[in-house]
């Protein structure tokens, strides 16, 4: 992974060129607003005319005795708040993904006082307006990421919606199951274990109370998120504290897996860093006082030790407070837990290419700068089968179970864009393809997301096609936020039908690659296994290697596939 990010540095030297850091924003009186916390002022984004407010606190700082408690109300502003810059990120370990921004991995950055949000509104938004509101929950395995990564100014200008980008506690501060915390709870919600979900709920409560001041309609709130953010959207769909705070939900490359409360706290079943074991190391004891007195450095180093990508710990814990004890998947068909709203769920055709690109066993490097697949056919086949597992779990099985339970307002998609640029003999369209997170720039219509990789991935040669695709995706997402039905995306696009028993997904791609089309069929593990067993691109040994690699991500899926492949 380190080598792949070194690629970004070398590859983009020519594209980066001179320092193009934008000038600090200037307060604009047209953005002055008064809310319950006091008066604040934002700025107007020059290129789009969007109004922007950044770094607004939506809850009290979860520090000291408030560590590992549900968020408390945000304090009043001290004077007029100049909401011009996003908050510092929530405490986290930097990962190889930070190298794209010139930051070394393995560093503790951020702070506990991080519960802030950014708001983007179109130029014509007015106080007391009725524009649909879209609340973005960032990804990063629930251990990494921050609001400043996402600029929604183009999306709001294009689609006439309000976008709110939120931060939430990450890693061990966001997910922590411990008896001492439950025993010292000041409220029922303090007894939960998913403090990240409680932060997201507090942000949604803030939106309900305040978004009308920025031109938004509190009765039309859509939550949307990618990867871990997609998981969190799925979690909020079955989280009682979030009931009634949102009205539609979009899951981009998410999932439904949960960890049992006892396993998260005590260990077992392959759980890494269960809470009691970690607490003994970073706190030297198991009392609430000792846990809350531990330093950030001690906490994060405990969870980071021996793990290269940030930190490792149980997440999305079935605590019976924020999530059902039976788990997210079961909660989706239980009316006592399910927040019954329209849902879109989808994945990318080659999700796993982003991860496989960073695997030296699969990709060859020259001088740490140029990369090619060691075996192109195997590289493509591996990613496609791994990604089909992701789709089955996060899209087809979820959509089908909702429809079977009588929930009709379900839509599904597959994102197929794989036209990334070439650099000498390195083909990013083949190496990264329609990999994990590649759809995000299309939804936001802003092709500045992967840092130094952007200039090589998004080129003049693919500009026309990707701009067309971005217009369609933004249109569908915004129409869903407006009406609860993506329909024709508010424009001249194909009708996007609901999921039915035969399976119907919208395929997103450029006009040059077949464009927008509805594809039918329900993906199953049985069909995946049959296809793998007869795939002419693969040797018997390669088929078995694919099963092994699937097992590293999903043991249950691998077993179902293995039954049909002679390994």
The DSSP letter of residue 13 is H
Pairing of strands 108-109, 92-93: antiparallel
Could you give the angle at which helices 195-210 and 228-237 cross, rounded to 10 degrees? 70
Nearest partner of 121 among 88, 154, 87, 148, judged by Cα:
154
DSSP letter at 228 equals H
- Of 145, 189, 134, 136, nearest to 169 by C-alpha is 145
Extract the tokens encoding 267. Answer: 């260990």
Residue 554's contacts (CB-CB under 8 Å, 6 or more residues apart) are 389, 393
Distance CA 199, CA 166 (A): 9
Residue 351 bears catalytic tag: yes
Phi then psi for 309, rounded to 5 degrees? -95, 80
Label residues 518-554 b or e (16+ Cβ within 10 Å = b).
eeeebbbbeebbebbeebeebeeebbbbbbebbeeeb
- Three-class SS of residue 504? strand
Comparing CA positions, the residue from 314, 501, 310 lying closest to residue 403 is: 501
Say how far apart CA 393 and CA 257 lie, in whole Å: 9
Residue 442 to residues 125, 298, 456, Cα–Cα distance (Å) = 23, 39, 16
The single residue of 247, 304, 407, 436 carrying the catalytic annotation is 436
Known active-site residue 227: yes
- 90 DSSP 8-state letter: B
Cβ proximity of 56 and 76 under 8 Å? no
Cβ neighbours for 336, distance < 8 A, ≥ 6 positions apart: none
How many Å apart are CA 413 and CA 398, to the nearest integer?
A: 13
3-state secondary structure 363-429: EEEECCCEEEECCHHHHHHHHHHHHHHHHHHHHHHHHHHHHHCCCCCEEEEEECCCCCCEECCEEHH
Cα 178 to Cα 286: distance, rounded to the nearest angstrom: 9
Q: Are 355 and 4 in contact (CB under 8 A)?
A: no
SS3 557: helix
Residue 232: Cβ within 10 Å count: 29
Element (H, E) at 204: helix 195-210
**3-class DSSP state of 328:** helix
Total length of the chain: 567
Of these residues, 86, 87, 141, 227, which one is catalytic? Answer: 227
Name which of 224, 122, 298 is nearest 486 in CA terms.
224
Q: Which member of 351, 419, 439, 479 is catalytic? A: 351
Annotated catalytic sites, by residue?
A: 227, 351, 436
């Amino acid at each position: 992974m380190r080598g792949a990010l070194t690629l970004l540095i070398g590859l983009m030297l020519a594209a980066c060129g001179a320092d193009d850091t934008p000038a600090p924003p200037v307060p604009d009186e047209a953005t002055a607003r008064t809310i319950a916390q006091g008066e604040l002022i934002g700025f107007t984004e020059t290129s789009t005319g969007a109004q922007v407010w950044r770094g607004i606190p939506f809850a009290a700082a979860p520090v000291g005795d408030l560590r590992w408690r549900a968020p408390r109300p945000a304090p009043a502003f001290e004077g007029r708040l100049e909401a011009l810059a996003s908050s510092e990120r929530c405490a986290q370990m930097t990962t190889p993904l930070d190298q794209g921004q010139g930051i070394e991995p393995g560093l503790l950055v951020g702070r506990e006082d991080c519960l802030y949000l950014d708001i983007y509104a179109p130029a014509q938004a007015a106080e007391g307006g009725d524009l649909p509101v879209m609340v973005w929950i960032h990804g990063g395995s629930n251990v990494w990421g921050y609001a400043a990564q996402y600029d929604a100014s183009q999306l709001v200008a294009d689609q006439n919606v309000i976008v709110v980008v939120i931060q939430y506690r990450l890693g061990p501060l966001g997910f922590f199951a411990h008896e001492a915390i439950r025993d010292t709870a000041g409220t029922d919600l303090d007894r939960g274990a998913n403090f990240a979900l409680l932060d997201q709920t507090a942000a949604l409560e803030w939106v309900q109370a305040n978004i009308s001041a920025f031109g938004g309609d509190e009765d039309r709130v859509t939550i949307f998120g990618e990867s871990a953010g997609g998981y969190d959207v799925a979690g909020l769909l079955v989280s009682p504290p979030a009931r009634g705070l949102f009205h539609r939900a979009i899951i981009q490359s998410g999932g439904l897996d949960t960890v049992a409360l006892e396993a998260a706290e005590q260990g077992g079943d392959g759980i890494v860093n269960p809470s009691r074991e970690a607490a003994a190391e970073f706190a030297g004891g198991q009392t609430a006082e000792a846990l809350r007195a531990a330093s950030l450095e001690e906490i994060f180093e405990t969870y980071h030790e021996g793990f290269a990508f940030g930190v490792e710990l149980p997440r999305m814990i079935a605590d019976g407070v924020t999530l059902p004890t039976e788990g997210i998947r079961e909660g989706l068909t239980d009316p006592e837990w399910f927040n019954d709203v329209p849902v879109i769920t989808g994945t990318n055709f080659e999700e796993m290419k982003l991860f496989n690109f960073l695997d030296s066993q699969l990709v060859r490097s020259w001088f740490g700068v140029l990369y090619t697949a060691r075996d192109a056919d195997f590289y493509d086949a591996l990613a496609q089968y791994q990604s089909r597992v992701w789709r089955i779990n996060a899209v087809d099985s979820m959509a089908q179970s909702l429809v079977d339970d009588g929930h009709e307002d379900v839509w599904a998609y597959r994102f197929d864009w794989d036209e990334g640029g070439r650099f000498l003999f390195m083909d990013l369209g083949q190496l990264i393809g329609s990999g994990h997170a590649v759809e995000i720039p299309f939804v936001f219509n802003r092709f500045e997301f992967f840092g130094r990789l952007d200039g090589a991935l998004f080129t003049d040669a693919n500009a026309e096609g990707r701009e067309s695709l971005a217009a369609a995706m933004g249109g569908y997402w915004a129409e869903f936020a407006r009406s609860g039905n993506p329909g024709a995306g508010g424009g001249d696009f194909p009708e996007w039908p609901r999921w039915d028993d035969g399976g119907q997904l919208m395929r997103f791609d450029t006009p040059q690659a077949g464009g927008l089309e509805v594809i039918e069929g329900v993906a199953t593990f049985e069909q995946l296994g049959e296809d793998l067993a007869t795939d002419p691109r693969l040797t018997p040994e390669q088929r078995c290697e694919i099963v092994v690699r699937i097992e590293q991500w999903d043991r249950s899926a691998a077993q179902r596939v293995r039954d049909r492949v002679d390994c």
